[in-house]
Amino acid sequence: MIQSDKERIKKIISTWEALQQQIKEHHITAENLMEDEFFQWAVTTPLYNIGEQVYHISSEMKSAYPDIPWTVVSGLRHRLVHDYEGINWTIIVDVIFNEMDDFVNSIKSIL
C-alpha cells in the first residue's frame, strides 16, 4: 500500500507525540538517556520509524519545503539502523530534547 505524503506526515507526528508521552511517563531525561541502555533502545525505534517515513516522502513535497531538514532526519534513521554501535548519544539527546519539536512543528504546518 502506497501512502500519501500527508499520511506519512501524520504518522511522523503521531509517532513523535507517542514518543514524547513515553518520555514523560518513564521520566526519561537527557541525563539518564545518556547512560541507560533500555531508554536508548526505547527511543530509537520511534526515531527509526520517523526517519523511514521522511525518507519515503516524495521529492516534490521535499522540494516544496526546502527549509525543512528532510535529509537530516532520514539520515539519522540510516545512522541508527546501520551504525548502532557508533551512535553518539549526545547528538540523539540533542535531537530528542532540542530539535525534534521544531521539525515536527514545521511539518505540521504543511497539513
Using one digit for the tens of pLDDT, what is the confidence trace for 43-56? 999 999 999 999 99
pLDDT score recorded for residue 1:
60
Q: Which residues contact 11 (CB under 8 A, 6 or more apart)?
A: 3, 49, 53
The tens digit of pLDDT for each residue in 35-85 reads 999 999 999 999 999 999 999 999 999 999 999 999 999 988 888 888 767
Residues 53, 12 contacting (CB under 8 angstroms): yes
> Considering the entire predicted model, what is its pTM?
0.90
Band (100; pLDDT cuts 50, 70, 90): very high
For the chain, percent of residues with pLDDT exceeding 70: 98
Residue 67 domain boundaries: 5-108
What is the total count of domains within the chain?
A: 1
End-to-end CA distance of the chain: 21
